[in-house]
């Protein structure tokens, strides 16, 4: 085990020396991230009209979807050419008028600085107005551009919804047998499969994975993973091929100072010349493409009994 790990680590160091590292500032500045709304740490789905952030920085959401998700009842009325929207939840009531920046929260006027608008045949309101008016906790995640509502009750791969699949179901990935052993050298009990749209998620007793993205640099492509720890290795699982082992690039690591950090993993790496602990001379590691991988997997020391594999969202 230790010999294999040292061989793979040597390959990763060769990659860093030969190709340099991605600039963290350049990578983070790339494509804009869509605003997401998290309700009790689960992403809300909006079937048509999507949340957006206006020029003043307010997150605008379609009122019906959010209020109903929070357990509120919504009603509309028109008078004098104006549309009024009312949301009730228990003893809390929020009343707002399209085109105005103020609303009545439990009978008291409150200004939000942003007009309630009609867009895509939906009534959009400042998220903070609805959630605070209905007694919910609200916080803004500037890194992910997420709005958190309620409690941060993360899904966990230990939950019953994530079924343990036996290693025998993944024989086409077993060329690297050590990949299927924990740090004690014992075989894992199996693999749990998750999808990227189920993030954020906690890996058993281990780290929380918030999101996974593909970032393109002038020289190379990188997988950017925001999590609660630094440097957990990842593995590209390729059908009938050796597992592609990757570690985070140290110089590109970003500590967001909010309990999360982003690690950047090169898509291609000279470490691929080490297969099954052996150096394969003349192996062309540059031919690997991200869409060849079926899964992006995590083999962590906590938990030690199963592997977590994300279905490759970039395939």
The answer as to whether 140 is a domain residue is: yes
State the average pLDDT for the chain. 86
Q: Is the pLDDT of residue 260 over 50?
A: yes
Check whether the bond before 246 is cis (ω within 30° of 0).
no
The rounded distance, in Å, linking the Cα atoms of 96 and 83 is 9
Report in angstroms the alpha-carbon separations of 281 from 91, 156, 267, 270: 72, 42, 20, 11
Query: Is there a single domain that holds both residue 58 and residue 78?
Result: yes
Residue 303 has pLDDT above 80, yes or no: no
Please indicate, yes or no, whether residues 122 and 243 belong to a single structural domain of this protein. Answer: no
Tell me, yes or no, whether 208 lies in a domain: yes
228 confidence band (pLDDT: 50, 70, 90): very high
Domain boundary among 149, 173, 203: 149
Residues 169 and 284 in one domain: yes
Q: What is the pLDDT of residues 192-211, one digit of tens each?
A: 999 999 999 999 999 999 99
Report the distance separating Cα 117 and Cα 134, nearest Å.
Answer: 20
Tell me, yes or no, whether 165 and 26 share the same domain: yes
**Structural domain count, the chain:** 2
Please report where in the chains the tokens 């390729």 appear, as a residue. Answer: 238
* Mean pLDDT on 232-260: 94
Residue pointed to by tokens 């340099």: 20
The SS3 assignment for 305 reads: coil
List own/partner pairs for 31-35 with CB under 8 A and 24 or more apart: 33/144, 33/145, 34/145, 35/59, 35/145, 35/146, 35/147
- Residues 210, 117, single domain; the answer is no
Same domain, 168 and 303: yes
pTM of the model: 0.82
Residue at which a domain ends, from 87, 117, 149: 149
């Amino acid at each position: 085990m230790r010999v294999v790990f040292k061989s793979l680590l040597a390959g990763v160091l060769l990659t860093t020396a030969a190709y340099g590292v991605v600039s963290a500032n350049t990578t983070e500045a790339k494509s804009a991230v869509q605003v997401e709304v998290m309700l009790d740490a689960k992403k809300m789905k909006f079937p048509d009209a999507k949340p957006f952030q206006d020029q003043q920085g307010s997150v605008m959401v379609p009122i019906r979807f959010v209020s109903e998700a929070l357990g509120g009842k919504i009603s509309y009325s028109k008078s004098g050419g104006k549309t009024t929207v009312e949301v009730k939840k228990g003893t809390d009531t929020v009343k707002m008028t399209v085109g105005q920046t103020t609303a009545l929260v439990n009978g008291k006027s409150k200004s939000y600085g942003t007009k309630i608008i009609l867009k895509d045949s939906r009534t959009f309101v400042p998220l903070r107005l609805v959630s605070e008016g209905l007694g919910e906790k609200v916080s803004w995640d500037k890194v992910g551009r997420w709005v958190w509502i309620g409690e941060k009750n993360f899904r966990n791969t230990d939950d019953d919804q994530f079924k343990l699949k036996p290693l025998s179901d993944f024989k086409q990935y077993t060329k690297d047998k050590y990949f299927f052993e924990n740090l004690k050298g014992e075989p894992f009990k199996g693999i749990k499969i998750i999808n990227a749209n189920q993030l954020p998620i906690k890996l058993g007793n281990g780290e929380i994975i918030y999101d996974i993205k593909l970032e393109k640099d002038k020289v190379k492509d990188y997988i950017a993973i925001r999590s609660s720890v630094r440097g957990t290795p990842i593995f590209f699982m390729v059908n009938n091929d050796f597992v592609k082992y990757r570690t985070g690039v140290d110089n590109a690591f970003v500590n967001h100072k909010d309990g999360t950090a982003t690690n950047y993993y090169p898509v291609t790496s000279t470490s691929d010349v080490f297969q099954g602990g052996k150096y394969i001379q003349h192996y062309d590691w540059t031919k690997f493409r991200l869409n060849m991988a079926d899964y992006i997997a995590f083999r962590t020391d906590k938990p030690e009994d199963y592997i977590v594999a994300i279905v490759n969202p970039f395939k």
